[in-house]
Amino acid sequence: MSDDVGARLRALRTLRGISQRELAKRCGVTHSSLSLIEQGKVSPSVSSLKKILDAIPMSVGDFFTMDLESRRQVFYSADELADVGSGDVIYKLVGANRHDRALSFMIETYPAGADTGREMITHQGEEAGVVLEGEIEITIGADTRRLGPGEAYYFETNVPHRFRNPGEIPCRLVSCTTPARAF
C-alpha cells in the first residue's frame, strides 16, 4: 500500500472491524478529524497518529510496515483443494498454490481397506491430526493404535509411520505436517 496515512488507517480500521465513530471514541479524537485524516484531507501529527494507533492497538512502526493488501489467496472453496494423494488415498491440500508454505494442512480420505503402502514413511518434521469419521489404524515405530472420531495424534515424522483404514467405511481426518511437503 502507498505511504498515504489516511488510506492505510482506513484499511487497518476496516480490517479490524472497528467503525470510524468507535475508533474516534476510543482514542479521544473527534469523528470529523478522523474522517478528514482517512480522506487524506488532513495529515495527523505523529502524536495524534500514535494516539489513534494505541486505540487499535498497533505501534507506529507496525502501521507503516504491515501489508494491508495481501495479494495471496486466503479462502478456498472445496473444489480449489488440490488432491495430492496417491492410489486410493485422497489428500486434499489447503493452499497448494502457496509455494512458500510453512506447513501442509490436509483433509485426508482413506476408503475402506486403503493404506499408505507396505513401506513405512519417514520425513523430517511433525504431524498431527484428528479423525472426523470412520477409523484409522496408525503405526508409529513399534506402536499401533486404532483411532475413531474425535481422537487425535501428534508425532515426530522421522519415526517410521503408516496409516491404514481397517474399517468397512471411509475414514476422513484432518492433518497438518511441518515443514510443508512438496507433493
- pTM of the model as a whole: 0.65
- Residue 97's pLDDT is what? 87
Expressed as residue numbers, the domain containing 41 is 5-65
CATH of the domain at 83: 2.60.120.10
- The pLDDT-based confidence of 113 (bands split at 50, 70, 90) is very high
pLDDT, mean of residues 48-67 = 90
Answer for the pair 168, 112: CB distance below 8 angstroms, yes or no: yes
pLDDT, mean of residues 22-44 = 92
Q: How many CA within 13 A on the CB side of residue 92?
A: 13
Indicate whether 90 and 153 sit together in one domain.
yes
Does any domain span residue 27? yes
- Residue 3's pLDDT is what? 57
Q: Considering the chain, what percentage of its residues have pLDDT values greater than 90?
A: 73
Residue 2 clears pLDDT 50, i.e. is over it: no
- Residue 141's pLDDT is what? 96
Q: Considering the chain, what percentage of its residues have pLDDT values greater than 70?
A: 96
Number of separate domains in the chain: 2
- Residue 88's pLDDT is what? 92
- The pLDDT-based confidence of 84 (bands split at 50, 70, 90) is very high
Residue 1 clears pLDDT 90, i.e. is over it: no
Single out the residue in 65, 90, 105 at which a domain terminates.
Answer: 65
Residue 133 clears pLDDT 60, i.e. is over it: yes
CATH of the domain at 19: 1.10.260.40
Indicate whether 102 and 23 sit together in one domain.
no
Does any domain span residue 142? yes
Indicate whether 23 and 82 sit together in one domain.
no
pLDDT, mean of residues 32-46 = 92
- State the cell numbers at 23: 475508533
Does any domain span residue 70? no
